[in-house]
Amino acid sequence: MTKIIAHRGLSAIAPENTFYSFNPMVDYDLDWFETDVSITADGELVLLHDDRLDRTTDHNGEISAQLFDDIIDADAGSWFGPEFAQASLLTMDDLTQFVSQTGMNLNLELKGITGPNCSALADQLVAKLVPYLRNINSQVNLIISSFSPIMLLKLHAAAPELAYAVLYDEHQFLDDWQLIADACDAQYIHLDQVDATPENINAIHARGFQVNVYTVNDIETVNYLTTLGVDGVFTDVAHQLVARKVPAMA
Ligand code: G3P
Ligand code: MG
Phi, psi torsion values for 125, nearest 5 degrees: -60, -45
Write out pLDDT tens, residues 165-188. 999 999 999 999 999 999 999 999
- The proportion of the chain whose per-residue pLDDT surpasses 90, expressed as a percent, equals 93
Rounded average pLDDT over 60-76: 97
Mean pLDDT of the chain: 96
Cα(106)–Cα(23) distance, rounded to whole angstroms? 14
Cβ-based neighbours of 76, under 8 Å, separated by 6 or more:
15, 17, 18, 56, 57, 87, 88, 89
Cα 217 to Cα 6, 9, 87, 172, 186, distances in angstroms: 11, 13, 24, 21, 26
Give domain limits for the chain. Answer: 3-241
At residue 250 the predicted structure's pLDDT band, cuts being 50, 70 and 90, is: very low
Residues with CB under 5 A from ligand 2 (ion): 36, 109
Per the CB < 8 A criterion, the answer to whether 198 and 213 are in contact is no
3-state helix, strand, coil in the chain (%, to 5): 35, 20, 40
pLDDT band at residue 114, thresholds of 50, 70 and 90? confident
Instruction: Give, for ligand 1, the residue of 55, 142, 172, 190 to mutate: max count of ligand atoms closer than 8 Å to Cβ.
Output: 190
Q: Which atom of ligand 1 is nearest to the CA of 8?
A: 4
Which protein residue has the closest C-alpha to ligand 1 atom 6? Answer: 214
d(Cα 89, Cα 76) in Å, to the nearest integer? 6
**Vertex 170 angle, CA 189 and 161, to 5°:** 25
Residues with CB under 6 A from ligand 1: 7, 34, 36, 49, 109, 145, 167, 190, 214-215, 234
Task: Tell me: pLDDT of 247 over 60.
Answer: no
How far is residue 186's CA from residue 144's CA, in Å, rounded to a whole number? 9
Identity at 200, one-letter amino acid code: N
ipTM of model over 0.85: yes
**What percent of the chain clears pLDDT 70, i.e. is strictly above it?**
97
pTM for the full predicted model? 0.96
Q: What is the pLDDT of residues 181-240, one digit of tens each?
A: 999 999 999 999 999 999 999 999 999 999 999 999 999 999 999 999 999 999 999 999
CB-count exposure of residue 6 (10 Å: 0-12, 13-18, 19+): buried
CATH number of 3-241: 3.20.20.190
